[in-house]
Amino acid sequence: MSKAEDSLLTLNELELMGDEPSGPGTDYDDGVAVEESKPDLAPPPMYQIVMLDDDFTPMEFVVDVLQMFFGMNREKATQIMLTVHTQGKASCGTFTKDVAETKVAQVIKFARENQHPLMCEVERFQ
């Protein structure tokens, strides 16, 4: 067989199959919908903010901080403040690392601006 006959035979076979060529280098859509797979991502590690007790920061200031920076209502903020006062520390919330570090920096800055030694720490949450 000559090359021309091979080419004709190949074209005829394609016509009989009813498919158009597809694959790399072609712009044909074979009608198959392929859903792109998303990579399995683990949830980010979480960190809790722990407020520490001191003998100088007024309780009312602590309640105000908990309301302003952690979105707590007055009752919840008062409960957390009393836990800090009686147990020496309490968790203010659990966040991603960046959010937790930012909130701690904001709380400490606000406390210093108001001449209070209030301290918070970031701890990895289990």
**Residue 84 sits in a domain of what CATH number?**
3.30.1390.10
Q: Is residue 54 part of a domain?
A: yes
Q: Is residue 3 part of a domain?
A: no
Q: Is residue 85 part of a domain?
A: yes
Q: Is residue 26 part of a domain?
A: no
Number of structural domains, the chain? 1
Q: Is residue 100 part of a domain?
A: yes
Per-residue pLDDT tens for 28-39? Answer: 566 777 778 888
Q: Is residue 116 part of a domain?
A: yes
Q: What is the DSSP string of 74-125?
A: HHHHHHHHHHHHHHSEEEEEEEEHHHHHHHHHHHHHHHHHTT---EEEEEE-
Average predicted confidence (pLDDT) for the chain: 86
Average pLDDT score over residue span 1-6? 54
In this predicted structure, the answer to whether residue 121 has a pLDDT above a threshold of 90 is yes
Give CA angle at 85 (81, 88), nearest 5°. Answer: 115
pTM over 0.75: no
Range of the domain at 80: 46-124
Q: Is residue 31 part of a domain?
A: no
pLDDT band at 110 (very low <50, low <70, confident <90, very high): very high
Q: Is residue 61 part of a domain?
A: yes
In this predicted structure, the answer to whether residue 20 has a pLDDT above a threshold of 70 is no
In this predicted structure, the answer to whether residue 26 has a pLDDT above a threshold of 70 is no
